[in-house]
Protein backbone atom coordinates (compact mmCIF):
# COMPACT_ATOMS: atom_id res chain seq x y z
CA UNK A 1 0.00 0.00 0.00
CA UNK A 2 1.35 3.34 -0.94
CA UNK A 3 1.80 6.19 1.50
CA UNK A 4 -0.83 8.18 -0.41
CA UNK A 5 -3.38 5.35 -0.07
CA UNK A 6 -2.74 5.09 3.68
CA UNK A 7 -3.24 8.85 4.11
CA UNK A 8 -6.50 8.71 2.14
CA UNK A 9 -7.71 5.74 4.22
CA UNK A 10 -6.81 7.53 7.46
CA UNK A 11 -8.67 10.66 6.32
CA UNK A 12 -11.73 8.59 5.29
CA UNK A 13 -11.67 6.74 8.60
CA UNK A 14 -11.44 10.04 10.50
CA UNK A 15 -14.38 11.44 8.49
CA UNK A 16 -16.40 8.28 9.12
CA UNK A 17 -15.72 8.43 12.88
CA UNK A 18 -16.56 12.15 12.90
CA UNK A 19 -19.86 11.56 11.02
CA UNK A 20 -20.69 8.58 13.24
CA UNK A 21 -20.23 10.49 16.50
CA UNK A 22 -22.01 13.63 15.27
CA UNK A 23 -24.89 11.58 13.85
CA UNK A 24 -25.33 9.67 17.11
CA UNK A 25 -25.19 12.81 19.24
CA UNK A 26 -27.89 14.46 17.09
CA UNK A 27 -30.05 11.33 17.29
CA UNK A 28 -29.75 11.38 21.08
CA UNK A 29 -30.67 15.08 21.26
CA UNK A 30 -33.63 14.60 18.90
CA UNK A 31 -34.91 11.64 20.93
CA UNK A 32 -34.51 13.63 24.15
CA UNK A 33 -36.65 16.39 22.60
CA UNK A 34 -39.27 13.84 21.51
CA UNK A 35 -39.37 12.41 25.03
CA UNK A 36 -39.80 15.91 26.41
CA UNK A 37 -42.72 16.41 24.03
CA UNK A 38 -44.25 13.14 25.26
CA UNK A 39 -43.99 14.51 28.79
CA UNK A 40 -45.84 17.66 27.71
CA UNK A 41 -48.58 15.51 26.18
CA UNK A 42 -48.73 13.42 29.34
CA UNK A 43 -49.32 16.53 31.46
CA UNK A 44 -52.04 17.72 29.08
CA UNK A 45 -53.64 14.26 29.29
CA UNK A 46 -53.65 14.51 33.09
CA UNK A 47 -55.26 17.94 32.81
CA UNK A 48 -57.93 16.56 30.46
CA UNK A 49 -58.66 13.71 32.86
CA UNK A 50 -58.99 16.13 35.77
CA UNK A 51 -61.27 18.40 33.75
CA UNK A 52 -63.53 15.43 33.04
CA UNK A 53 -63.85 14.77 36.77
CA UNK A 54 -64.34 18.48 37.45
CA UNK A 55 -67.17 18.65 34.90
CA UNK A 56 -68.88 15.64 36.51
CA UNK A 57 -68.66 17.33 39.92
CA UNK A 58 -69.99 20.63 38.57
CA UNK A 59 -72.87 18.88 36.77
CA UNK A 60 -74.16 18.00 40.22
CA UNK A 61 -75.08 21.65 40.78
CA UNK A 62 -78.59 21.54 39.33
CA UNK A 63 -78.91 25.20 38.40
CA UNK A 64 -75.36 25.60 37.11
CA UNK A 65 -75.03 27.42 33.78
CA UNK A 66 -75.21 24.72 31.12
CA UNK A 67 -73.62 26.91 28.42
CA UNK A 68 -70.42 27.30 30.44
CA UNK A 69 -70.29 23.57 31.09
CA UNK A 70 -70.97 22.77 27.43
CA UNK A 71 -68.16 25.11 26.35
CA UNK A 72 -65.71 23.26 28.61
CA UNK A 73 -66.86 19.85 27.36
CA UNK A 74 -66.53 20.91 23.71
CA UNK A 75 -63.13 22.56 24.24
CA UNK A 76 -61.90 19.45 26.05
CA UNK A 77 -63.05 17.24 23.16
CA UNK A 78 -61.27 19.48 20.63
CA UNK A 79 -58.09 19.54 22.72
CA UNK A 80 -57.97 15.75 22.99
CA UNK A 81 -58.54 15.36 19.23
CA UNK A 82 -55.62 17.64 18.35
CA UNK A 83 -52.51 15.47 18.55
CA UNK A 84 -49.01 15.88 17.17
CA UNK A 85 -46.69 13.06 16.28
CA UNK A 86 -43.30 13.72 17.89
CA UNK A 87 -41.69 13.17 14.48
CA UNK A 88 -43.72 16.03 13.01
CA UNK A 89 -43.21 18.94 15.42
CA UNK A 90 -43.55 21.65 12.80
CA UNK A 91 -44.46 25.25 13.67
CA UNK A 92 -47.84 24.76 11.95
CA UNK A 93 -48.69 21.62 13.94
CA UNK A 94 -47.51 23.24 17.16
CA UNK A 95 -49.76 26.25 16.47
CA UNK A 96 -52.81 23.98 15.96
CA UNK A 97 -52.05 22.11 19.15
CA UNK A 98 -51.55 25.30 21.14
CA UNK A 99 -54.78 26.78 19.76
CA UNK A 100 -56.77 23.78 20.97
CA UNK A 101 -55.11 23.87 24.39
CA UNK A 102 -55.67 27.64 24.68
CA UNK A 103 -59.37 27.15 23.89
CA UNK A 104 -59.61 24.61 26.69
CA UNK A 105 -57.77 26.88 29.12
CA UNK A 106 -60.10 29.76 28.28
CA UNK A 107 -63.24 27.65 28.73
CA UNK A 108 -61.88 26.27 32.00
CA UNK A 109 -61.16 29.78 33.27
CA UNK A 110 -64.75 30.82 32.52
CA UNK A 111 -66.00 27.73 34.35
CA UNK A 112 -63.93 28.49 37.45
CA UNK A 113 -65.09 32.12 37.46
CA UNK A 114 -68.70 31.01 37.16
CA UNK A 115 -68.24 28.58 40.08
CA UNK A 116 -67.68 31.58 42.35
CA UNK A 117 -71.46 32.17 42.30
CA UNK A 118 -72.16 28.73 43.77
CA UNK A 119 -71.16 28.58 47.46
CA UNK A 120 -72.30 24.96 47.85
CA UNK A 121 -70.14 23.89 44.94
CA UNK A 122 -67.17 25.92 46.19
CA UNK A 123 -67.46 24.12 49.53
CA UNK A 124 -67.66 20.65 47.90
CA UNK A 125 -64.56 18.71 48.97
CA UNK A 126 -64.30 16.82 45.67
CA UNK A 127 -64.45 20.08 43.76
CA UNK A 128 -61.82 21.70 45.97
CA UNK A 129 -59.51 18.69 45.63
CA UNK A 130 -59.93 18.66 41.84
CA UNK A 131 -59.32 22.41 41.67
CA UNK A 132 -56.07 21.99 43.64
CA UNK A 133 -54.96 19.09 41.46
CA UNK A 134 -55.75 21.12 38.36
CA UNK A 135 -53.65 24.04 39.60
CA UNK A 136 -50.78 21.63 40.33
CA UNK A 137 -51.14 20.10 36.88
CA UNK A 138 -51.06 23.51 35.21
CA UNK A 139 -47.71 24.10 36.95
CA UNK A 140 -46.50 20.71 35.71
CA UNK A 141 -47.62 21.58 32.17
CA UNK A 142 -45.63 24.81 32.33
CA UNK A 143 -42.56 22.98 33.62
CA UNK A 144 -42.85 20.29 30.94
CA UNK A 145 -43.17 22.88 28.18
CA UNK A 146 -40.05 24.67 29.47
CA UNK A 147 -38.11 21.39 29.55
CA UNK A 148 -39.31 20.60 26.04
CA UNK A 149 -38.12 23.99 24.80
CA UNK A 150 -34.73 23.42 26.46
CA UNK A 151 -34.38 20.01 24.78
CA UNK A 152 -35.39 21.46 21.40
CA UNK A 153 -32.95 24.31 21.91
CA UNK A 154 -30.08 21.85 22.51
CA UNK A 155 -31.06 19.81 19.45
CA UNK A 156 -31.47 22.86 17.18
CA UNK A 157 -28.12 24.30 18.28
CA UNK A 158 -26.42 20.99 17.60
CA UNK A 159 -27.89 20.74 14.10
CA UNK A 160 -27.09 24.34 13.14
CA UNK A 161 -23.52 24.75 14.39
CA UNK A 162 -20.53 23.98 12.24
CA UNK A 163 -19.44 21.25 11.53
CA UNK A 164 -22.54 19.46 12.86
CA UNK A 165 -24.68 21.23 10.28
CA UNK A 166 -22.86 19.31 7.53
CA UNK A 167 -23.87 15.98 9.05
CA UNK A 168 -27.35 17.28 9.88
CA UNK A 169 -27.89 18.34 6.27
CA UNK A 170 -26.75 14.99 4.87
CA UNK A 171 -28.92 12.94 7.24
CA UNK A 172 -31.99 15.20 7.29
CA UNK A 173 -31.92 16.50 10.86
CA UNK A 174 -34.45 19.32 10.47
CA UNK A 175 -35.11 22.11 12.93
CA UNK A 176 -37.74 21.33 15.57
CA UNK A 177 -40.41 23.84 16.59
CA UNK A 178 -40.48 25.22 20.10
CA UNK A 179 -43.58 25.64 22.19
CA UNK A 180 -44.60 29.30 21.95
CA UNK A 181 -46.84 31.46 24.11
CA UNK A 182 -50.35 32.16 22.86
CA UNK A 183 -50.61 35.31 20.80
CA UNK A 184 -51.51 38.29 22.95
CA UNK A 185 -50.17 36.69 26.13
CA UNK A 186 -47.39 39.25 26.25
CA UNK A 187 -49.99 41.84 27.28
CA UNK A 188 -51.08 41.93 30.91
CA UNK A 189 -54.77 41.05 31.25
CA UNK A 190 -57.26 43.61 32.54
CA UNK A 191 -58.49 42.56 35.95
CA UNK A 192 -61.77 43.95 37.15
CA UNK A 193 -63.33 43.33 40.51
CA UNK A 194 -67.08 43.57 40.86
CA UNK A 195 -67.87 44.64 44.45
CA UNK A 196 -71.66 44.70 44.46
Strand segments, DSSP code E, in the chain are: none
125: in domain = yes
7: in domain = yes
Question: Looking at the 3D structure of the chain, how many domains does it have?
Answer: 1
67: in domain = yes
The sign of the dihedral angle between the CA atoms of 139, 114, 74, 56 is positive
What is d(CA 3, CA 5) in angstroms, rounded to the nearest whole number?
5
pLDDT band, residue 191 (cuts 50/70/90): very low
Q: What is the pLDDT of residues 27-71, one digit of tens each?
A: 999 999 999 999 998 998 888 888 888 887 777 665 566 777 788
Domain region containing 73: 3-171
Nearest residue to 106 via CA among 66, 143, 81, 78? 78
Question: Which alpha helices (H) appear in 60-90, and where do they start and end?
Answer: 66-81
- DSSP code for 196: -
Residue 160 has pLDDT above 90, yes or no: yes
What is d(CA 87, CA 90) in angstroms, rounded to the nearest whole number?
9
Q: In angstroms, what CA-CA distances link 34 with 23, 57, 86, 95?
A: 16, 35, 5, 17
Q: Is the pTM of this model over 0.85?
A: no
CB atoms inside a 10 Å sphere around CB 87: 9
Which CATH number does the domain housing residue 70 bear?
Answer: 1.20.1440.20
183: in domain = no
Amino acid sequence: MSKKTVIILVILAALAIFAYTKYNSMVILREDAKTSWSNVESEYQRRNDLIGNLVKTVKGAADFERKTLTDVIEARAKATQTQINADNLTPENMAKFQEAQAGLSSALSRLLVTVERYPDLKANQNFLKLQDELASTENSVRTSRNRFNAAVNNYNKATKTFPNNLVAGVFGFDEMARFKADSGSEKAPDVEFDFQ
